[in-house]
Every structure is written in structure tokens, then in C-alpha cells.
Amino acid sequence: EAARKLFMGEVDFLKGVVAMDGLPPDDRAEVCFAGRSNVGKSSLINALTGRKALARASNTPGRTQEINFFTLGEERYLVDLPGYGFANAPVAVVDKWQRLLKQYLSGRATLRRAFVLVDFRHGIKKVDEEILTLLDKSAVPFQVVMTKQDKVKAVDQEKVLEQVRTALSRHPAAYPEIVTTSSEKGDGIATLRAIIAGLT
Ligand code: GDP
């Protein structure tokens, strides 16, 4: 209930950041969301916050370098990292973005946890592995959140989860617990809210 209140209360867009000197002061606990483009990240953030268009579906390579900060109450930031894995993003854009991402992940003392979103239909892909390795190197604890659970039959889910568990066992910064969600049906949303509310 406290978690629901937190998310239904004050959630506001603060700013989009394109360089390290644009980061807001690190004066509060922070969680970030990462995932391949189209994984369902905007839908998940909107479901968590109960707002329809807080996180815009920014499915264009041009907007990929922006790190979006939202305030969650007065004591937390929720950070939306740009989607990765665009098939046709220009190399220069990808390079610039990766540099910023590395700087952010390795230099943000108040970053409590990264949530890495993984499409339930696909499991962990090569591009996901890259970000998991970066999180290991940056010593940022991360947790996998499966998205679009409603798109995979119950009988097929365990096989995907097994693939994900196996992949996670190779990453020292990974939490073994996997959160399964459907933004469409609302499954797992309360669980994820409670996890975030518990990080101080
Ligand atoms: P983003 O690029 O990661 O921000 O992805 P979006 O949130 O824009 O979602 C990509 C597509 O997946 C959209 O067509 C969404 O409607 C769809 N989608 C996202 N989450 C779910 C879900 O939980 N269930 C279903 N069935 N579709 C979803």
C-alpha cells in the first residue's frame, strides 16, 4: 500500500540528460531501467506510475542518447535509460551513447539498482549480454524484469526463465530473483513497486 501510494503520488518528469554535467544532484536513492528498444520499457514505467504517457515511447534512434530523470516522491529518482539495440542507429550515435552510459553507471553513487527489461518471448539476447557485462564492470547491482508475460503461454514460460537464470548465473552483479510482468494485464507491477519502495 505504501508502495502504491509512492507511485500514485508525485511522479514528475525532471529532465533529459545528454552529458554527465547535466545530471541532477545525487542527493537521493535512484533506480534505472534499461532494455532493448521495443522491450516494453515505456509501457512498464507508465504502468508503474499509473500514468498513460509519462515515459514516451521514444522509438527513434535520434533520441537514444537521452537519460530521462523522473522524481518519485521526494526521496527517489526513477531513471529511464534509452533503449539499446537499434538495428540502424548511426555508429557515432551509438558510441556517444555508450560513453555516456558507461560514465553514468560507473559514477553514480546513489544508483541503488538497475532493472534490465527482457522480453518474455525472446529471453536474453546478445545485446542484453553487453549491458549485463557493463553492469558487472560498473558494480551496479541489477535485476531482470521480464516483460509481456501475457504474450507467452504459461507452459512455455519456464523454458525462457531457465535460459535467463543460466545467463544470470554468469553475472556477479545480478540478483537471482527475476520479476515477471505484464504492463498490459498488470501482473508483477505491485511487486516491482514494492521492490523500488524498499530501496532507500
Ligand atoms: P519501449 O520501446 O521499450 O519503450 O517499448 P514500448 O513500451 O513502446 O512497447 C513496445 C510494444 O510492445 C508496444 O506495441 C506495446 O504496446 C507493446 N507492449 C508493451 N508491454 C506489453 C505487455 O505487457 N503486453 C503486451 N501484449 N504488449 C506490450
Ligand 1 centre distance from Cα of residue 26 (Å):
30
Ligand 1, CB within 6 Å, residue ranges: 35, 37-43, 57, 59, 83, 147-148, 150-151, 182-184
pLDDT tens digits for range 124-138: 999 999 999 999 999
Write the residue with the smallest CA distance to atom 18 of ligand 1.
40
pLDDT tens digits for range 154-190: 999 999 999 999 999 999 999 999 999 999 999 999 9
Per-residue pLDDT at 56:
63
CA-CA distance, 2 to 159, in Å (whole number)? 34
Per-residue pLDDT at 63:
54
Per-residue pLDDT at 82:
87
For residue 148, give Cα distances in angstroms to 13, 23, 41, 48, 178. Answer: 25, 31, 10, 14, 14
Average pLDDT over residues 141-151: 98
Ligand 1 centre distance from Cα of residue 16 (Å):
21
Domains of the chain from N-terminus onward:
2-197 (3.40.50.300)
